[in-house]
Amino acid sequence: MEKYLLDTHTFLWYLENNPSLNSKTRQIISNKENQLFISIVSFWEIVIKIQLHKLELPELFEGIFEKAEAFNIRILPVKERYLSSYLSSEFHHRDPFDRMFVATAKREEITVISKDANLKLYNIKLVW
């Protein structure tokens, strides 16, 4: 059983059945034997993008937590040890949300599913 942390766009594209999500990634997420996670930080990122009119959800935001649960995607809180890793990580990426995903992935020893090739600079397991 493998563990995967979904980046925000990966999660949204999976929910929307967006063609931008490649077949390899779709297979990993659909495989019931894999453990799937999303950071609560992703939901914060979604809210900010909605407020800035950079993102529109086809359905209400309130239902997004239930959708994660329906797809057996567990929500990870921000933990003190993630913040410690965040503080000591290199500044390869300007996006604070992505840096938190990296810190979470490192501490949990989990593979990130993201299209963002810049995350490779952090020496984490990355799938796309």
Q: Where are the domains of the chain?
A: 3-127
* Predicted local confidence at residue 86, as pLDDT: 64
Name the band, by pLDDT with cuts 50, 70 and 90, for residue 28: very high
Contact 101, 40 (CB under 8 A): no
Render the burial of 87-102: b for 16+ CB within 10 Å, e for the rest. eeeeeebeeebbbbbb
Under CATH, which architecture does the 3-127 domain have? 3-Layer(aba) Sandwich (3.40)
Q: What is the pLDDT of residue 96?
A: 80
Residue 58: per-residue pLDDT: 67
Residue 2 has pLDDT above 80, yes or no: yes
Q: Averaged over 118-122, what is the pLDDT?
A: 81
Average pLDDT over residues 45-58: 87
pLDDT interval class at 107 (50, 70, 90) = confident
**Cβ–Cβ under 8 Å, residues 105 and 5:** yes
- Residues of the chain with pLDDT > 70, as a percent, come to 89
Residue-level pLDDT at 56: 83
